[in-house]
Amino acid sequence: MWEYTDEVKEHFLNPKNVGEIENADAVGEVGSLACGDALKLTLKIDDTETIVDAKFKTFGCASAIASSSALTEMIKGMPLAEAEKVTNEDIANALGGLPKEKMHCSVMGREALEAAIADYRGVILPMAEGEVVCECFGVTDLEVKRAVKESNLTTVEEVTNFTKAGGGCGKCHDRLEELIQEVREESPTPAIPDQRPKRMTNIQKIKLIEDVLEKEVRPNLRKDGGDIELIDVDGDFVTVSLRGACGSCLKSQTTIKEYVEKKLREQVLDSLVVEEAKA
């Protein structure tokens, strides 16, 4: 049995805004019977480009119905410009979260909203123009790459949870892997959520500092022909030594303060002070 939040249950059992607006100003239809879920969103939009009414019809599981209901509640009274910025995470959050296997239900909500806005503006969504990667669920490479980018997905399994791609025969798994890789390369380091542990022992701290230097700092310094070595950690004082091109660089102090110290403070501990080893 799925672990649904009370919000999901409430929106599922007593959904809001079920139906279809007659003479709607915007219609967004996504999904299909074969896929197992589908959503038809109809909107009434006034002269000031504000969504004055929203209704939905949904075929799907509890989380699909709940996502649709929550979406319509969210966008009613919203200016289009703002509605355009609604993400699937917003929908999931409004429901107090969704099981990870059900995230695609919130994605479906976002897609229907986008489709409706595009319909209103008379434009064609670029997503549909991509090349179909997953034949089973008709998902394009553009859709996959977008989900990877927006939700920081790193594995094929996550891509399946969010977009359904790869959830059928599994033939496209290699291609999905490539797409994830492509996105990684296009945007080297997406903002990492704060994963710093709250309390650390000395050993843990040193280990983490080493890690950040090794994985984040060193590769960047090397690009410029430089390098860095950790000399000592004493309380909050971190002593490093710059090597190679960095060693003789006039800006080495700036590198240490503006770059190395900033990185370590972001990812290890706010109070760290980085100093260069005295020769």
Partner 1 sequence: MISEKTDRIVYMDNNATTRVAPEVVEEMLPFFAEYYGNPSSMHTFGGQVGQKITEARQRIAALINASPEEIIFTSCGTESDSTAILSAVQSLSDKRHIVTTRVEHPAVKNLCESLYSISGHKHKVTQIPVDKYGMLDLEKYRDSLTDETAIVSVMWANNETGVIFPIKKMAAMARERGILFHTDAVQAVGKIPIDMTEVPVDFLSISGHKLHAPKGVGVLYVRKGTRFVPFLFGGHQEQGRRGGTENVASIIGMGRACELVAARMDDENTRVKALRDRLEEGLLQAVPRAILNGHKTERLPNTSNVSFEFVEGESILLHLDRFGVCASSGSACTSGSLEPSHVLRAMGVPFTAAHGSIRFSLSVYNTDQDVDYVLEHLPKIISDLRAMSPFWQETVTEKAE
Please report whether residue 138 would count as binding partner 1 according to CB under 8 A: no
Number of C-alpha atoms within 13 angstroms, CB side, residue 241?
8
Please report whether residue 62 would count as binding partner 1 according to CB under 8 A: yes
Is residue 136 annotated as part of the catalytic site, yes or no? no
CB atoms within 10 A of CB 199: 6
Please report whether residue 162 would count as binding partner 1 according to CB under 8 A: no
Give the residue with the Cβ less far from partner 1, 13 or 192.
13
Which one of the listed residues 61, 105, 136, 249 is annotated catalytic? 105
Determine contact, residues 45/76, Cβ cutoff 8 Å.
Answer: no
Determine contact, residues 261/272, Cβ cutoff 8 Å.
Answer: yes
Encoded one letter per residue, x for contact with partner 1 by CB under 8 A and - for no contact, window 175-204 reads ------------------------------
- Pick one of 29, 89, 90, 157: the residue that binds partner 1 (CB under 8 A): 29
Q: Is 72 left (phi over 0), alpha (psi -120 to 50) or beta?
A: alpha
Cα dihedral sign for 165, 59, 34, 115? negative
Name the minimum Å distance from CB 157 to partner 1: 12
Give the residue with the Cβ less far from partner 1, 108 or 256.
108
Name the minimum Å distance from CB 131 to partner 1: 21
Sheet containing 51-59: order of strands:
26-32, 37-45, 51-59
Give the torsion through C-alpha atoms of 122, 81, 41, 67, to 10 deg. 150
Rounded CA-CA distance 54/70 in Å is: 11
Is residue 35 annotated as part of the catalytic site, yes or no? yes
Give the residue with the Cβ less far from partner 1, 2 or 237.
2
Residues 6 or more apart from 193 whose CB is under 8 A from it? none
Please report whether residue 34 would count as binding partner 1 according to CB under 8 A: yes
Give the residue with the Cβ less far from partner 1, 68 or 151.
68
Encoded one letter per residue, x for contact with partner 1 by CB under 8 A and - for no contact, window 78-117 reads -----------------------x----------------
Buried residues in 21-37 as b, exposed as e (16+ CB within 10 A): beebbbbbbbbeeebeb
Please report whether residue 54 would count as binding partner 1 according to CB under 8 A: no
Interface residues with partner 1 (CB under 8 A) are 2, 12-15, 18, 20, 29, 33-34, 36-40, 57-62, 64-65, 101, 136-137, 160, 164, 167-168
